[in-house]
A and B are shown apart, each in its own frame.
Chain A
Amino acid sequence: MSTTPDTPRTAGRSKARSDERSGSRAAGRSPATTIIVTAVLAIVAIYFLIPVYWVVVNATKTTEDLFGTSGFWFGSSFELVDNIRAVLSANGGIFPRWALNSLVYSGIGSVLATYFAVAGGYALAKYRFPGKQFVYALVLGGVLVPGTATALPLFFLFSSVGLTNTYWSVLIPSLVSPFGLFLAAIYAGAAIPDEMLEAGRIDGIGELALFHRIALPQLVPAIVTIVLFQFVGIWNNYFLPLVMLADENLYPITLGLDNWRAQTDRLPEFYQLTVGGALLSVIPLAILILVLQRFWRGGLTEGSVKG
C-alpha cells in the first residue's frame, strides 16, 4: 500500500530507468538464449491466440463445413460475408442493436461513473471534513461485497419502483465505481498541490469551479485509466443484465450471444450465427486493447493494490 501514493510522480522516472536497464542487459545476451526465450514466448502466444484464430477461421464456413472440416483450417467455401450479413440481419437486426446497447451501457456508464468517482475522490483527497474516514470505510466495505449479494435485493428494489427490464436497471448500478473513487483520491492527493488550489481560491474561484478548471486537467491520466477499467467492466458484465433484463431488445452483446448459443442445441444454424457474432464482438475489443495498451500500464499498479 505504501508504494502507491507516489506512483504518479515516479512513474516517468522509473520507466526511463527500466528502458536503459533493458538495453544494457540485452547487450550481454547470447543469440541462443534469445532464440529459446522467443520460442517459448511464441508457443505461449499461440495458446492465447488459438480461440481467436479459431473464430476467425470458422466464421468463414458454412454450418456443414463447421462440423465437417478441420477447425484449424478454412472450409471448402469462403462464406464470411454471407455469415456476417446473416448475423447482422438475424431476428430483424437484433445483433447491431445488442452492440449498440453494449456501447450505451459501457459508454455512458463509464464516462459518468468516472466523473462521479473523480469528483468524490478529489473531495476525499483535498478536503478535511467530519465523516471523511467513515465515507472511506463505507466505500471500502462496499467494494468487497460481491455483486451477487446485492443483485437480488437491487432487483426487488428496482422492481418496486418499476425500473427492472429498462435501460436504467443496468445503467444506474454501472454509474458507481468505488475503485475509481480510490484511484482518483490517491492520484489527486499526489498530483494536485494544495498551493495550486489556494492560489485559485485567492483569485476568487468558487470551490466547484476549482475542481472543474484546476483539478480535472491534472487528473487526466487517472481519468483515462478509470474510464478504461469501467468500460471493460461494464462491457464484460453478465450477472447484472441477466438478473435485470427480460426483453431481448435491451440485451447487451454478452447476454444476446449467450441467448443464441443456447439455441444451438435445437437449431444448428445458430452455431454459425454465434460464431459470426463472437467474431464481430471480439475483433473491435481486441483492437481496442492493443491500441490502448499503454494506457493500461499506468493504472495497473494502482489496480493491483486496490483490486
Chain B
Amino acid sequence: MKPTMSRRTALAGSAAALATGLAACAPPNPGEVNAQATIPAADGRVTVSYWAWLKDLHKVAEVFNQTQDRITVETTWIPGGNNGGYAKILSAVAAGGGPDIAQVELRSVPEFALAGALVDVTRYDFASIADRFDPGALTQAQVGDSTWALPQDTGPMATFYNREVLEGELGLTVPSTWEDFRETCGAVQEAGKQMITLDPFDGSHPVGWAMQSGAVWFRPEGDGWIVDMTDDASMRVAEFWDGILADKLIGTGYGSFTTPWYAAASEGSVLASISGSWSDALIETVPGGEGKWAVAPMPVWSGDDPGYASGAHGGSSAAILANSQHPVEALEFLTWMCTDPAGIDAMIEFSGIGWSPAADYIGAPRQEPSEFFSGQNYNEEVIVPMAEGQNLEWTWAPLMQRAMAIIGDGMTAAVNGEVPLVDMFADAQTEIVEIMRGIGLNAEEAR
C-alpha cells in the first residue's frame, strides 16, 4: 500500500462524499412541546419519574406517595448539574426520553428552556397556584411571561460571622453597610485575621452583589435581550470591590467552605462568609464553632438608592421535562413538595434544602432558636427579611454557565491586578451579547 497514492484518493473520496452529504445535514430541532396540545390528567394510577442530586430525595417522595394512591413518585440520583447531571438530562431529552421531572439550578433554567427541554407550566394553569410561591424564588424561574420550572430551594444572601471573635475578641460590630464592611475588613486585618475569603473563580458572588445593588444584567424586551452590566448599580459594585481588592482587604486564596477555609474558620482566623442561607448547615460543621457564630443581614448600600436587602446565591428548581407524559401529575406533586408544609419539612429533614420556596412557610425546624448560632432565632429574624428583600426584576439568561465562567475569569484577573472590575463588567457585557447572538438570540448591549 502506497500512502501517497492513498492520500490523494482519500481527498478525492472525501470531497465527493462531502458534496453529496453537506446539503442534507442540519442539526435537528428540539421538540416543540410548548406548541403542541397540553396533555390531560390521566385516569388511572400514574408513576412520575424524578431525577435529582438532592440527598435522600426518595424519602421525600415516599412521604408524598403515602398521602394518596393515584401518583407514585420514583426518584433517581444523578450527578450534580455541571458535573454530569445536566448533560445526562439533556441527552436523554434529545433522545426522546428522560424523566418527568429533573432538578435544575435556578440560574440554569433558561438554558434548559432554550434547549427545548422544559414544559412551560403556565400552560397547565400554574397561575392559579403561583401565589403559593415566594416571589423572590419564583421570579428566578420565569422569563418574560413563561414559568419554566418550580423553585425548590433558594439562597438569600446573609452575613454569617464568628461573633465571639469579631465582637468579643476584637471589639468590632458586624457591618451593616458596605462602607462599614470595608472598614471592618481593615480592622480585622490589623488583628492578623481575614473578615472573609473568596475563591475568585467562583462567579456567583459578584452576581449576588449586583442583584442586591439593583442591577438587571439580562432584561427581556420584546423578543430580544438587553444586556446591561454597566449601569450605576453595577458600577458601584465594581468600584467598591476594585477598592477592596486593590487594598487587599480580604483573602483571595480559597473560597468559603473549602478545606483550608474550615481550618482557618475553626482557629478563628477567618471570621465571616457572606453567602446564601444554606451556609448555615455548612458552618455548623466548623470544628469548635458551637455557640460562637451568628447571622446578620447582608451589608447594604447607603445613600439615595439603597438597592435591595439581599441577593440570591444558589438555589435550584424542579422542572417538568419536555417528554413527560404526565405533566399534570408532576405539577401536582411539585406543588405539594414546594409549597405544602409537609413537603417543605420533608425536604428540610431529609434533603437539607436551602431556603423554602413557599410564600408563607419557612419550615418547622427553622422557627426555633439555634444553639449553634449563639441561641439566635436567625431564620425568622434575619433570613426572612433577606428573602423578602430580593431583586424581583432579575432574570437569568440562557447562558449562565458561560456567563459565570466569564465573571469568574474576570474576578481572577481583577484579583491579580490585571483588569479592574469596572472594565471587566464592560468587557463581559460585550462578550455575553456575542455569545447570545451565537446561540441565535436577539441581543443588544444597553446604551
> A interface vs B, CB < 8 Å?
1, 133-134, 136-138, 140-141, 155-156, 158-160, 162, 164-165, 242-243, 246, 248, 258-259, 262-263, 265-267
Contact = CB atoms under 8 A, between A and B. Distances in A.
B70 interface: no
Q: 6 tightest A-B contacts by CB?
A: A137-B10, A164-B95, A246-B92, A137-B9, A262-B79, A159-B95
A262 B87 CA distance: 14
Interface string B26-68: 0110000000000000000000000001010000000000000
Contacts of B97: 164-165, 246
5 contacts: A137-B6, A137-B7, A137-B10, A242-B87, A265-B80
A247 B3 CA distance: 43
Contacts of A158: 95
Contacts of A1: 3
Nearest to B87: A242
B98 interface: yes
Contacts of B1: 136
Most-contacted residue by chain A among B3, B83, B91, B92 (CB, 10 A): B91
B5 A266 contact: no
Contacts of A141: 10, 13-14
A10 to B, nearest CB: 19
Contacts of A265: 80
A165 B92 contact: yes
A138 B91 contact: no
Nearest to A160: B28
B54 to A, nearest CB: 9
A259 B79 contact: yes
Interface string B86-99: 01100110111110
Interface of B: 1, 3, 5-7, 9-10, 13-14, 27-28, 53, 55, 76-77, 79-80, 83-84, 87-88, 91-92, 94-98
A266 B92 CA distance: 24
Contacts of A263: 77, 79
- Which of A138, A156, A246 gathers most chain B CB within 10 Å? A246
Contacts of A140: 6, 10
Contact of A133 (B9, B28, B91, B98): B9
Contacts of B3: 1
Question: At the interface, is chain A mostly helix, strand, loop or mixed?
Answer: helix
Query: Which of B10, B53, B83, B84 is packed against the most chain A CB atoms within 10 Å?
Result: B10
Nearest to B1: A136
B55 A267 contact: yes
Contacts of B91: 155, 164, 243, 246
A166 to B, nearest CB: 10
A20 B283 CA distance: 70
Contacts of B80: 262, 265-266
A138 B10 contact: yes
Contacts of A164: 91, 95-97
Contacts of B98: 246
A284 to B, nearest CB: 26
Nearest to B84: A262
A162 B1 CA distance: 40
Given A159-B28, A159-B96, 13 more contacts: A136-B9, A155-B91, A162-B96, A164-B97, A246-B91, A246-B95, A246-B98, A248-B76, A262-B83, A263-B77, A265-B80, A266-B53, A266-B55
A141 B55 CA distance: 47
Nearest to B54: A266
B78 to A, nearest CB: 8
B27 A156 contact: yes
A125 to B, nearest CB: 10
A141 B16 CA distance: 14
Contacts of A242: 87
A163 to B, nearest CB: 9
A136 B7 CA distance: 10
Contacts of A137: 6-7, 9-10, 13
Nearest to A243: B91
B94 to A, nearest CB: 6
A246 B88 contact: yes
Tell which of A1, A137, A140 has the most Cβ of chain B within 10 Å.
A137
A207 to B, nearest CB: 22
Nearest to A166: B95
Contacts of A259: 79
A252 to B, nearest CB: 15
B77 to A, nearest CB: 7
Nearest to B352: A266
A140 B13 CA distance: 12
A33 B104 CA distance: 63
A73 to B, nearest CB: 24
Nearest to A248: B76
A205 B71 CA distance: 66
Given A156-B27, A165-B95, A267-B55, A134 B13 contact: yes
Contact of A138 (B13, B88, B94, B96): B13
A4 to B, nearest CB: 10
Nearest to A263: B77
A67 B1 CA distance: 58
B10 A156 contact: no
